Amino acid sequence: MTQEEGIWVVGYGSLIYKPPPHSTYCIPGLIYGFKRRFWQSSSDHRGTVESPGRVATLVPDPKSKVLAVSYYIPPDFVPQVTEYLNVREQDGYKACTVLTHLHPPQDLPLLAQERLDKLPIDVSTGKHTVESVVYIGTEDNGSYIGPEPIIDTARVIATNVGPSGSNYDYLKLLHDALNRMAAAMRCKLSDIEDTYLDNLFEAVQLTT
């Protein structure tokens, strides 16, 4: 997709509950080949340089998939939204491209449906797919923590606060939003992806 046609941005962390500006449609979708992990430290949003929090990143894993939200950004707003996201996601996140498998709701607006109808359909999932921009804290960035026991991550999340609010709120807003999305798809989050997020949320609540 060229910038003249607009772009799709897919969010799997804060972008799910705090969308980018100027999106025309937002459609749930799945990203295959990744798992969501709170292995990215945050000193600009949900913690400080002295006491960083933990935020979500995507970690490659061929057996996994994650529930996400895809936003369509029309051409006129691509430069503005790209600049906004590059600032918002600056603590170690890199703009990458992934293929998103879209799971539109039944009541999709006509214009959105027309845009979807132009996209290819994946033979294995039967879903429309679209190349989407995604911000990932890849393992080569300075804020990447790497594999961390859930209980340790939970302790960090339970205690940290940054300029965007508490680290607990980041996790709760994300967990709540994903559960609502899964319910709208008539399933549970753990039917779609692994139980990491549920386990982390439970561990944080036991910690507080």
Known catalytic residues?
A: 89
Q: Which of 39, 71, 135, 201 binds ligand SIN (CB under 6 A)?
A: 135
Q: What angle do CA 126, 33, 105 make, to 5 degrees?
A: 40
Binding status of residue 14 toward ligand SIN by CB under 6 A = yes
Using the contact rule CB under 6 A, the part of the chain among 11-19, 142-150, 157-165, 176-184 near ligand SIN is 11-19
Binding status of residue 44 toward ligand SIN by CB under 6 A = no
Using the contact rule CB under 6 A, the part of the chain among 9-17, 103-111, 158-166, 182-190 near ligand SIN is 9-17
Binding status of residue 12 toward ligand SIN by CB under 6 A = yes
Binding status of residue 11 toward ligand SIN by CB under 6 A = yes
Binding status of residue 89 toward ligand SIN by CB under 6 A = yes
What are the helix (H) ranges across the chain? 14-17, 78-88, 110-117, 150-159, 167-184, 189-192, 196-207
Token digits for 15?
Answer: 């972008």
Amino acid at 29: G
CA distances from 124 to 100, 127, 178 (A): 13, 8, 24
Using the contact rule CB under 6 A, the part of the chain among 12-20, 110-118, 149-157, 199-207 near ligand SIN is 12-20
Binding status of residue 91 toward ligand SIN by CB under 6 A = no
> Strand, helix or coil at 127?
coil
Token digits for 129?
Answer: 């797919």
Expressed in angstroms, the distance from the first to the final Cα of the chain is 45
| Closest distance to ligand SIN from the beta carbon of 14 (Å) | 4
Binding interface with ligand SIN (CB under 6 A): 11-15, 55-56, 89, 135
